[in-house]
A and B are shown apart, each in its own frame.
Chain A
C-alpha cells in the first residue's frame, strides 16, 4: 500500500511505538529464558547484567532428571489421545451438523455449543466419584478418562470450527457423488474429509494447545503418576524453595512443544482462528 502524505515523523512514531510495545511483550519471555540458561548464583545478581559466557544447559538436564521427564511423557500421552479422539469423533459429527438433516439436530447442536461457554467447574466436582464408578481413576485408564473429558469439552469447538470447513465444500461436489451412488460414508471419507484437511489440521493444533495447557482438569482428576507438565510446574512453583533455575527450565520445556507446533504450522493455526472469528 502507498502511504499518502505520511511524513517521516508519523512513520517513526508508528514503528517506534510498535517496537517499544513488542520489546515489553518479549521481556517476560526473555526473563524466563535467561533464568533457565544461567546458574542460580548468577541469576541472583540480575540476569540482565551477565555475560554470554555464563550460559549453561545444566538446568534443563537437572529439571529433566528430577521428575519432569515423567510429566512430559504424560503430557504427550494425554494430549495425543485427546486430540485423536476429538478430531475423529468431532469431524464426523461436524460433517453431520453441517451437511445432513436429522431429528433433534438443533437441540443437540445447542447443547454441544454450550461447552464453549460453560466453565469446566460445572462438571468438575462430581467427576472424581464418577471416574471411580467408571473405573477410570487408577492406572493407565486415567489417560483415557481425562482424554474423554477433553473430548466432551472440545465438542463445541469441534463442531463449530470443523463445521465451518465442511460447510465451505461446494454442494455440487457432494451431490454429484451421491447421485453416482456413493453412500454417505463414502462421500465423507473420499470427498469431504480430504477437502477439509487444512481445517482439520488447524483445529488439531488449536486443540493440542488447549489440552496441553490445561491445568484444572489434570490437577483435579489425575494422581501424581499421571499428571502432565502444567501440574508439574504448579508443584515446582513454590517461591520459598529458591529453585528458579529448575522452575524456569521446566517452564521453557513446557511451552516449547506448542510453540514449535505454532511456528511450524503458523499458517494453519491462524487460519483456524480466523474461521472461528469471521464466521462466528
Chain B
C-alpha cells in the first residue's frame, strides 16, 4: 500500500549539491515535512474518532449491559449500568417482533436490489439505443435521486391516498372498476386500493408476507433508480456501439445482444449498483418512518426502525441494550456481507 515512491527521500541527493545560505532552515523544514501526512489526515481522523469510532465502540460495549436512555451507559459511572453478558442478544433473538422486522427487512433486501438493477439496466440500455432526446429521458429517471426519502415518502403518500378523489392510483383503479376488490389466488390475498393499510398478504405457512412492504419499496425504488441509471450508463460508454451492430448483422436479436454482449461488459457497474442497493435496503428507515411508522400493527416494521423505537420512543424502558444489540447485529451482517466488495474496492484504489 505504501509503495508509492513519493516520499521525501527521493529528492534528498539533489539537496546536498548546492550548498546555499538557506540550507539550514530548509533542512528543518524537511524534518517538519516528515509529519506532513499526519497533519493532512489529522483533522478528518480526529472528527472520525470522536464522532464515529468512539460512539461505535460504546454501542458495541453497551450491548452487553442493561440500560435505558434516561440512564445512559457511561464508562465513567460504572454503578449506573448492569452487566448482563449476552442477555440482550438472546432476548433479541427470541423476540417475535425482532423476527417480524427481520422478515420485512429480508423482503426489502431481496426485492429492492432486484428491482433497481433490472429496471435501471433496462432503462439505461433503452436510452443507449436512442439517437435523440437521450439526455432528457435520462434526466427524468435521475431527477428523483436528489429528493430526500422523507419527501419521496410524502409524495408517494399522495399517490397512494385511499380516496379516489385524491390519490391518482385509486382514481385509475376506480375507472377500471377494481377499487376495493378482494382477490384470492391460492396463498395470495389481494386488496387493490388499500395500499398503505392492507394491500395483500402472501400466506406462506411458516410466515405471512405482507405486501405493504412492496408498496413502500416502490417509492424507495423510484428515488434510487437514478443511481443505477448513472452507474450503468457510465459503464455503457465503454462499450463500442459497433460491437452491437456487428452482432445485429450476424443475426442476433435484441435479447441475445443484451445478454451476450452488454451484461458481461457491464459486470462491474452492475455489481456496484447491486451492492449499494443492498446496503441501502438494510438501512431503510426514512420511507417507513414517514409513510407508515412501521404499521399498521407491525406489518412494515424494519430493523432500522425497530431499533430506533426501542432506543428513543420508549425512553423509560431499559431496552437500550437490546437496541444496541440490533445495531451490532445489523452492522456485523453488513460488514461481513460486503467485505469482499470492500476489499476489492480498497485493493483497486491502493494499486
Contacts and interface: CB of A to CB of B under 8 A. Distances in A.
Interface of A: 1, 3-5, 14-15, 17-18, 21-22, 25-29, 31-32, 35, 43-48, 85, 88-90, 92-93, 95-97, 99-102, 105-106, 108-130, 133-134, 148-149, 151-153, 155, 158-160, 163-164, 167, 171, 174-175, 178-179, 181, 183-185, 188, 209, 212-216, 219-220, 230-231, 233-234, 236-237, 239, 244, 247-248, 251, 254-255, 258-259, 261-262, 266, 270, 273-274, 277-280
A241 to B, nearest CB: 12
Given A153-B52, A216-B285, A125 B327 contact: yes
A46 B165 contact: yes
Given A92-B43, A273-B231, A119 B148 contact: no
B262 interface: no
Contact of B41 (A1, A31, A108): A108
B234 interface: yes
Nearest to B15: A181
Contacts of A244: 158, 166
A224 B320 CA distance: 23
B241 interface: yes
Contacts of B222: 25, 28
Contacts of A92: 40-41, 43-44
Contact of A251 (B37, B151, B285): B151
Contacts of B157: 237, 239
Given A126-B72, A148-B50, A117 B338 contact: yes
Contact of A109 (B58, B62, B289, B346): B346
B345 A280 contact: yes
A66 to B, nearest CB: 16
Contact of B158 (A35, A114, A151): A35
Interface in B317-349: 320, 323-324, 326-328, 330-331, 334-335, 338, 342, 345-346, 348-349
A183 B29 contact: yes
Contacts of A102: 2, 37-38, 41
Contact of A259 (B72, B147, B335): B147
14 contacts: A14-B130, A46-B171, A106-B2, A118-B335, A121-B283, A123-B56, A125-B320, A125-B323, A126-B72, A178-B11, A184-B36, A212-B148, A220-B308, A244-B166
Nearest to A155: B48
Interface of B: 1-4, 6-7, 10-11, 14, 26, 29, 33, 36-38, 40-41, 43-45, 47-48, 50-56, 58-59, 62, 69, 72-74, 123, 126-127, 129-131, 133, 137, 139-159, 163-166, 168, 171, 219, 222, 227, 230-231, 234-235, 238, 241, 245, 248-249, 268-269, 272, 279, 282-283, 285-286, 289-290, 304, 307-308, 311-312, 320, 323-324, 326-328, 330-331, 334-335, 338, 342, 345-346, 348-350
A22 B137 contact: yes
A130 B59 CA distance: 11
A118 B330 CA distance: 8
B4 A255 contact: no
Contacts of A122: 55-56, 59, 327-328, 330-331
A251 B157 CA distance: 12
A129 B72 contact: yes
Given A183-B33, A184-B40, 18 more contacts: A21-B141, A43-B166, A89-B47, A100-B4, A102-B37, A106-B1, A112-B48, A121-B283, A126-B58, A149-B51, A151-B47, A153-B52, A175-B10, A215-B286, A220-B308, A244-B166, A255-B146, A277-B272
Contact of A126 (B3, B73, B164, B248): B73
A185 B36 contact: yes
A89 B148 contact: no
A233 B131 contact: no
A122 B6 CA distance: 37
Contacts of A89: 43-44, 47
A17 B126 contact: yes
A230 B308 contact: no
Given A120-B283, A126-B59, A215-B286, A230 B148 contact: yes
A239 B164 CA distance: 15
Nearest to B52: A152
Nearest to B344: A280
Contacts of A178: 11
Contacts of B140: 22, 25-26
Contact of A254 (B62, B148, B285): B148
B36 A1 contact: no
A180 B231 CA distance: 41
A248 B158 contact: yes
B235 A277 contact: yes
Max chain B Cβ within 10 angstroms of own Cβ: one of A18, A90, A130: A18
A80 B292 CA distance: 31
A94 B16 CA distance: 32
Contacts of A99: 4, 6
Given A152-B47, A216-B285, A18 B131 contact: no
A9 B147 CA distance: 36
Contacts of B159: 27-28, 31
Contact of A119 (B38, B47, B166, B283): B283
A85 B50 CA distance: 15
Contacts of B349: 109, 160, 163-164, 167, 279
Contact of A215 (B145, B149, B248): B149
A32 B127 CA distance: 27
7 nearest CB pairs, A to B = A213-B148, A96-B40, A102-B37, A129-B72, A93-B44, A123-B55, A152-B51
A222 B152 CA distance: 22
A274 B327 contact: no
B234 A93 contact: no
